[in-house]
């Protein structure tokens, strides 16, 4: 009996010790994989793409499980009336939440670019589940607040998931438009001929065909060489000419682009394809803009897209290049180039230089309209398939077919099969499934989510962090005291971008001396040479245009009387609210 009691006592002691370690007591049959929450309160499978109900479930479960870390709200409604959910994530027990530097994340503005939502959700989940065990996350959430909107195009995302589509369709929104200008709306949409949920390609045998089957991969169609006969003509995606005009698939719901709806350098549709009638027309755009405008503490932002494996910064158009000063570009370069190391196969690019021109894009509105340092990541790249960069273009490369054959075992493609088409007669249909090519296969999704999340943490960590690092008092005699405060910013991001300073987008930073009778206040430009700039109005509250990244400002006051209860306060919209008492 004594042996049994001793054994139980030792077991209980071991359990208490285990509870204090980073391996939870209920997980003693294994060992936590480093970098992952061992026993999350909110169970999520990261091998699927969530519909709108599941997005809400994950978000609300996080808010319920971690009420001191996660708050959930709807910031608006979509065209079809769905909520645009946003999570605010910080240590709500520390500081004033909306006075902390804020980092905004959204995804899925293009509906078929599904994984942006999953990366945003993974980020929220990881922050909440790792707060107690990872010091870096705990410190990050004490200092910063994250605003995460998993999808800002919920209608079309739902349509992509629940209805037949191809990898490139249901890209935009759900506002009905007459895309071909014939006075009819949505008469010729994509038609799922065989009802399998995927819109694939149509081909027809023809002596005039220029395509043939790739001998090494029967899923693949290749152009016949000039000196050899073709076998098939390609008829485009599955569809039927519903209105009898001889064209297939010319109308689709919402053939506008929500990422051309923003109010910086917006251009009409005849210049920028996909624009609507005026900037900010969509309710989704209005909701995001209102939230950002209501939160001037947002200093960094991230928008997730696919595809190509890129960290993109603005500008979207060449004529906006003049707004990206050397100082601001240095911040982008530091984060973007380090990102290339963090996410193998991804490259740091400038949109208009390395891709194409974008007018009215979201990240230009954030960066140039609001002075927020903003990246757009293009998720998924062929590099992820075999961990190497292809030297061939997509039309010449067989990477996706090889990957499907060797690692997905045929799950990525609908095999070619015959079909009796009402207009084209005997055809065959087949090709990639709607969630292949552009969107990650399941086992690659979690890794890329984590790496891209880490990139946003790098960005968020480098948001401004001003501190009062030194306060000096000097007795001037006659009851007067000179107080000098050194304010340093320990991060590379300034409290105001150079663009922000030039165009006065955000208010100045204020450095105040509290609880003292201030007679004069000034900015110390050069202490060695005694150069100062006096602020004659409200000298106790000195306005400074910026606290530079990895830099400092120095301010000085002349005070009459006692300073026993005095303190120095930094009030910066993007840098936060910080104070320090005089010693």
Question: Quick one: tokens of 279?
Answer: 């900037």
Give phi and psi for 165, each to the nearest 5. Answer: -155, 170
Report the distance separating Cα 358 and Cα 531, nearest Å: 46
Q: In sequence order, which residues have a C-beta less than 8 Å from that of residue 41 and are 6 or more positions away?
A: 65, 66, 129
Displacement of CA 283 from its chain's centroid (Å): 20
**Which token pair is 138?**
């705990």
CB atoms within 10 A of CB 274: 17
Domain co-membership, 153 together with 188? no
184 and 143 belong to one structural domain: no
pTM tops 0.85: yes
Closest CA to 88 of 110, 68, 113: 68
Same domain, 425 and 364: no
For residues 229 and 347, state if they share a domain: no
Same domain, 508 and 418: no
**Within-domain flag for 79:** yes
How many domains, in total, are found in the chain? 3
Whether 220 and 302 map to the same domain: the answer is no
Q: Is residue 6 in a domain? A: no
Q: Is residue 300 part of a domain?
A: yes
If we measure between CA atoms, which residue out of 478, 485, 528 comes closest to residue 509?
A: 485
Query: Taking the alpha carbons of 134, 150, 460, 97 in that order, is the dihedral positive or negative?
Result: negative
Rounded distance between C-alpha atoms, residue 177 and residue 191, angstroms: 18
Per-residue pLDDT of the chain (583 residues; tens, 9 = 90+): 444 444 334 434 433 333 444 444 445 578 888 999 988 999 999 999 999 999 999 999 999 999 999 999 999 999 999 999 999 999 999 999 999 999 999 999 999 999 999 999 999 999 999 999 999 999 999 999 999 999 999 999 999 999 888 888 877 766 666 555 555 555 445 688 898 989 999 999 999 899 999 988 888 999 998 888 889 999 989 888 877 777 777 655 446 899 999 999 999 989 998 898 999 999 999 999 999 999 999 999 999 999 999 999 999 999 999 999 999 999 999 999 999 999 999 999 999 999 999 999 999 999 999 999 999 999 999 999 999 887 776 667 889 999 999 999 999 999 999 999 989 999 999 999 999 999 999 999 999 999 999 999 999 999 999 999 999 999 999 999 999 999 999 999 999 999 999 999 999 999 999 999 999 999 999 999 999 999 999 999 999 999 999 999 999 999 999 999 999 999 999 999 999 999 7
Query: Measuring CA to CA, which residue among 145, 172, 156 is closest to residue 86?
Result: 145
Residues 455 and 306 in one domain: yes
Same domain membership, residue 225 and residue 93: no
- Domain range for 496: 466-581
Residue 267 lies in a domain: yes
CB 559 within 8 Å of CB 566: yes
Phi, psi of 368 (to 5 degrees): -100, -30
Residue 470 — φ and ψ, nearest 5°?
Answer: -155, 140
Say if 43 falls within a structural domain: no
Same domain, 274 and 376: yes
Quote the CA–CA distance of 518 and 510 in Å, as a whole number.
15
H/E stretch holding 19 reads helix 2-20
Q: Are residues 446 and 493 in the same domain?
A: no
């Amino acid at each position: 009996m004594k042996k049994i009691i001793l054994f139980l006592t030792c077991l209980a002691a071991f359990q208490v010790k285990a509870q204090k370690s980073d391996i939870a007591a209920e997980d003693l049959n294994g060992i936590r994989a480093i970098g992952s929450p061992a026993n999350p309160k909110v169970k999520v499978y990261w091998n699927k793409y969530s519909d709108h109900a599941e997005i809400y479930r994950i978000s609300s479960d996080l808010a319920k499980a971690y009420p001191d870390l996660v708050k959930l709200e709807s910031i608006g409604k979509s065209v079809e009336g769905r909520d645009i959910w946003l999570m605010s994530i910080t240590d709500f027990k520390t500081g004033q939440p909306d006075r902390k530097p804020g980092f905004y994340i959204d995804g899925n503005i293009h509906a078929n670019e599904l994984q942006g939502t999953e990366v945003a959700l993974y980020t929220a989940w990881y922050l909440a589940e790792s707060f107690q065990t990872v010091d870096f996350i705990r410190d990050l959430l004490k200092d910063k607040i994250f605003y995460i909107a998993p999808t800002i195009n919920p209608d079309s995302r739902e349509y992509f998931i629940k209805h037949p589509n191809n990898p490139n369709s249901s890209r935009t929104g759900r506002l009905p438009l007459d895309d071909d200008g014939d006075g009819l709306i949505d008469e010729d949409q994509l038609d799922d001929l065989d009802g399998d949920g995927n819109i694939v390609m149509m081909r027809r045998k023809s002596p005039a065909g220029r395509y043939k089957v790739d001998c090494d991969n029967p899923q693949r169609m290749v152009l016949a060489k000039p000196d050899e006969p073709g076998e098939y003509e390609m008829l485009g995606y599955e569809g039927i000419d519903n209105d009898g005009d001889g064209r297939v698939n010319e109308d689709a719901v919402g053939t506008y682009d929500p990422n051309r709806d923003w109010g910086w350098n917006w251009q009409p549709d005849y210049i920028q394809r996909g624009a609507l009638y005026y900037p900010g027309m969509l309710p989704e755009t209005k909701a995001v803009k209102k939230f950002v405008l209501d939160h001037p503490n947002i200093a960094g932002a991230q928008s997730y897209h696919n595809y190509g494996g890129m960290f993109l910064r603005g500008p979207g158009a060449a004529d906006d290049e003049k707004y990206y000063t050397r100082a601001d570009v240095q911040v982008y370069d530091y984060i973007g180039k380090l990102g290339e190391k963090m996410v193998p196969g991804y490259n740091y690019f400038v949109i208009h230089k390395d891709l194409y021109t974008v007018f009215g894009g979201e990240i230009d509105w954030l960066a140039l309209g609001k002075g927020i340092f903003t990246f757009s990541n293009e998720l998924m790249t062929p590099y992820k398939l075999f961990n190497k960069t292809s030297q061939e273009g997509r039309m010449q490369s067989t990477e996706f077919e090889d990957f499907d054959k060797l690692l997905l075992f045929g799950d990525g493609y609908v095999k070619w099969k015959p079909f009796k088409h009402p207009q084209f007669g005997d055809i065959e249909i087949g090709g990639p499934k709607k969630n292949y090519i552009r969107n990650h296969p399941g086992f690659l999704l979690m890794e890329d989510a984590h790496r891209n999340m880490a990139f946003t943490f790098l960005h968020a960590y480098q948001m401004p962090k001003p501190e009062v690092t030194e306060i000096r008092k000097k007795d001037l005699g006659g009851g007067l005291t000179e107080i000098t405060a050194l304010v340093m910013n320990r991060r590379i991001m300034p409290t105001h971008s150079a663009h922000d300073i030039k165009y006065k987008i955000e208010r100045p930073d204020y450095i105040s001396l509290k609880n003292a009778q201030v007679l004069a206040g000034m900015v110390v430009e050069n202490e060695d040479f005694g150069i100062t700039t006096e602020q004659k109005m409200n000298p106790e509250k000195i306005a400074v245009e910026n606290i530079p990244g990895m830099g400092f400002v120095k301010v000085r006051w002349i005070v009459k009387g006692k300073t026993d209860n005095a303190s120095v306060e930094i009030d910066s919209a993007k840098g936060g609210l910080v104070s320090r008492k005089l010693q």
